[in-house]
Structure 1
Amino acid sequence: MVRQDIPLPDGPVRTCIGCRRRAAKRELLRVTVGPDRDGRQTVVPDPASSAPGRGAHLHPTRECYDLAVRRKAFTRALRLTGGPSSAPVGDYLDSRHDDDRPHLATD
């Protein structure tokens, strides 16, 4: 049964694996599995949504990332065995947050 009181956005809709809220695909960050420097599986950001393979979606906030890590949602959503590192996603979100901060002039 679809809830009538919550309007869905136009276009594709996905569910955030952190907070479990539905949102327009364009508002979420896609993550997928890729190799790290040592060749082990790790969860990596896919901001262009162009990487092949299974993906999962996450609001690009530290809160949703932390919820996804705590709930082990990356492992379930990406159908992985073991506990792959999701540190590259956290690093990506931190770098985006740093870019949003105003830069102070040093002169």
Structure 2
Amino acid sequence: MVAVRTCVACRSRGARTELLRVVLHDGRLLADDRAVLPGRGAWVHPTARCLDQAVTRGAFARALRASGRPDAGPLENRLKTLMDN
């Protein structure tokens, strides 16, 4: 059986292997490539479109139950690295 997750941006469902887990650490959004970091996680497609949509709509803050807007800079840098490879 394949684990299914929902993208916080586009709300489409996909296999856990197709989505990227994001966690909140010290007010910053971090990519959890191996899905092992502690705490609540949010799942997003590793595309610029879904990332932008999630940040604009505040989906990460809602899904991670964070107050205020978390810093998406580290996540955006990591995603750019993933897309360049």
TM-score, structure 2 length as denominator? 0.95
SS at match of 2:39: coil
Q: 2:38 matched to 1:52?
A: yes
Give the counterpart letter for 1:79 in structure 2.
R
For residues 3-42 of structure 1, what are the structure 2 equivalents within 5 Å? Answer: 10-35=1-26, 41-42=27-28
SS at match of 1:33: strand
1:35-68 C-alpha deviation (Å, 9 max, x unpaired):
2xxxxx1111101100011000000000100110
Give the RMSD, CA atoms, in angstroms.
Answer: 0.9
Alpha-carbon distance in structure 1 between the residues aligned to 2:10 and 2:73:
18
Higher helix share: 2
Shift of 1:21: 0.4
Q: Which runs of 4+ in 1 moved over 2 A?
A: none
Alignment match of 1:74 (pick from 45, 53, 60) = 60
Give the counterpart letter for 2:15 in structure 1.
A
Equivalent pairs counted in the alignment come to 85
Which structure exhibits the higher relative contact order, with contacts defined as CA atoms closer than 8 Å and separated by 6 or more residues? 2
Larger Rg: 1 or 2?
A: 1
TM-score, structure 1 length as denominator? 0.76
Unaligned runs of 5+ in 1: 1-9, 36-40, 100-107
SS at match of 1:31: strand
Give the counterpart letter for 2:24 in structure 1.
V
SS at match of 2:23: strand
For residues 75-90 of structure 1, what are the structure 2 equivalents within 5 Å? Answer: 75-90=61-76
Sequence identity (%): 45
